[in-house]
């Protein structure tokens, strides 16, 4: 199911921030209780003004664009405010801020994470904004404009014996929960052979469409460990009892996603760089507690970061 919104650029305010929207582990089934925590609502977008030099880079006649977003359910990723209708999150703030810099309106469509990238080539959406990691495999068919640096990490229950995952053979025999259609799923599936190559039982990859389902799986003992975005894991650990962040596994640039050969990329790059220079960028990261994900400048489809 997708929800569609038409968002006039000139009428967005913080109040309508609908804006725009990476077994057998020796654990018991002790409840993982959520701490009471409010989703941040600081307005870091409405003061952003159009920048003519960036807007001039848009294709002639561009006044509105359709963006696809995936609602994952846990900040700093895209989620809902308490009204259950208004979208918010780090990607939402960045998307709205870029739209303001460029002076365009946005049509926001919700879609499952795994469905967005394949739909870009058909023109169904003009771009996607859902914490898409930049990988060499994706760059074959997708163009990116980077705006943060996030990546892959692991978290588990506090009573787990796991302390740090530096090699995927440490996951052998475990149930690993992750998001469907993500770089995490791809990494796990592509390297599952490391266990059998070592004469060990392969780990099992359990995929879920929503982050809430991932954490429920861990809480109920159906999964032993979670692989997800570094920022998302840190947020979850900070706001749920009984969890621990293990470590960063692989850093990735994150960018707005477009069909290959898009002519929108230069304008978006200029818009992100404008946000970097005027201070809006830093305010967005501070709001979501992700200042460790700052970049120095936006780039168009850079090579995948290698450890």
pLDDT at residue number 130: 95
Q: Is residue 295 over pLDDT 80? A: yes
pTM, two decimals, is 0.82
Let me know: does 70 contact 38? Beta carbons within 8 Å: no
> For 138-165, what is the mean pLDDT?
96
Q: How confident is the model at residue 242 (pLDDT cuts 50, 70, 90)?
A: very high
Q: How confident is the model at residue 179 (pLDDT cuts 50, 70, 90)?
A: very high
Q: How confident is the model at residue 239 (pLDDT cuts 50, 70, 90)?
A: confident
Strands 127-133 and 243-259: antiparallel
Percentage of the chain modeled with pLDDT above 70 = 87
| 3-state DSSP assignment of residue 141 | coil
Q: How confident is the model at residue 306 (pLDDT cuts 50, 70, 90)?
A: confident
Cβ neighbours, 10 Å, residue 244: 15
DSSP string, 36-91: P-PPP----STT----HHHHTTSPTT--EEEEEE---SSTTSSEE-TTSS-EESHH
pLDDT at residue number 37: 57
Q: How confident is the model at residue 62 (pLDDT cuts 50, 70, 90)?
A: very high
> For 55-70, what is the mean pLDDT?
97
pLDDT at residue number 142: 98
Please give the structure tokens belonging to residue 109. Answer: 């469509």
pLDDT at residue number 307: 65
Neighbouring residues of 121: CB distance < 8 A, sequence distance ≥ 6: 141, 259, 260
Q: Is residue 15 over pLDDT 80? A: no
Let me know: does 294 contact 285? Beta carbons within 8 Å: yes
Q: Is residue 32 over pLDDT 80? A: no
Q: How confident is the model at residue 258 (pLDDT cuts 50, 70, 90)?
A: very high
- Distance in angstroms between the alpha carbons of the first and the last residue of the chain: 38
Q: How confident is the model at residue 39 (pLDDT cuts 50, 70, 90)?
A: confident
pLDDT at residue number 293: 95
Among 3-12, 58-67, 98-107, name the one with the lowest average pLDDT.
3-12
């Amino acid at each position: 199911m997708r929800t569609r919104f038409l968002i006039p650029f000139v009428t967005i305010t913080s109040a309508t921030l609908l804006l725009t929207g990476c077994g057998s582990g020796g654990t018991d089934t002790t409840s993982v209780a959520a701490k009471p925590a409010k989703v941040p609502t600081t307005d870091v977008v409405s003061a952003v003004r159009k920048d003519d030099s960036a807007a001039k880079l848009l294709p002639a006649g561009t006044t509105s664009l359709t963006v696809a977003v995936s609602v994952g359910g846990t900040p700093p990723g895209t989620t809902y405010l308490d009204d259950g209708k208004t979208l918010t999150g780090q990607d939402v703030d960045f998307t709205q801020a870029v739209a303001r810099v460029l002076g365009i309106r946005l049509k926001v469509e919700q879609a499952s994470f795994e469905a967005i990238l394949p739909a870009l080539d058909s023109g169904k959406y003009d771009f996607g904004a859902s914490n898409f990691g930049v990988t060499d495999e994706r760059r074959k068919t997708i163009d990116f404009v980077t705006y943060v640096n996030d990546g892959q990490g692991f978290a588990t229950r506090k009573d787990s014996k796991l302390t740090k995952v530096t090699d995927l053979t440490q996951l052998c025999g475990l149930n690993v929960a992750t998001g469907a259609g993500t770089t995490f799923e791809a990494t796990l599936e592509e390297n599952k052979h490391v266990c059998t190559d070592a004469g060990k039982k392969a780990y099992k990859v359990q995929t879920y469409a929503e982050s809430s389902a991932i954490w429920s799986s861990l809480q109920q003992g159906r999964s032993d460990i979670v692989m997800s975005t570094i920022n998302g894991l840190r947020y979850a650990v900070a706001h749920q009892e009984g969890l621990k962040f293990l470590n960063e596994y692989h850093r990735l640039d994150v960018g707005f996603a477009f069909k290959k050969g898009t002519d929108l990329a230069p304008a978006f790059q200029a818009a992100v760089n404008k946000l970097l220079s005027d201070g809006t960028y830093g305010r967005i990261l501070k709001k979501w507690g992700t200042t460790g994900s700052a970049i120095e400048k936006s780039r168009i489809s850079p090579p995948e970061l290698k450890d």
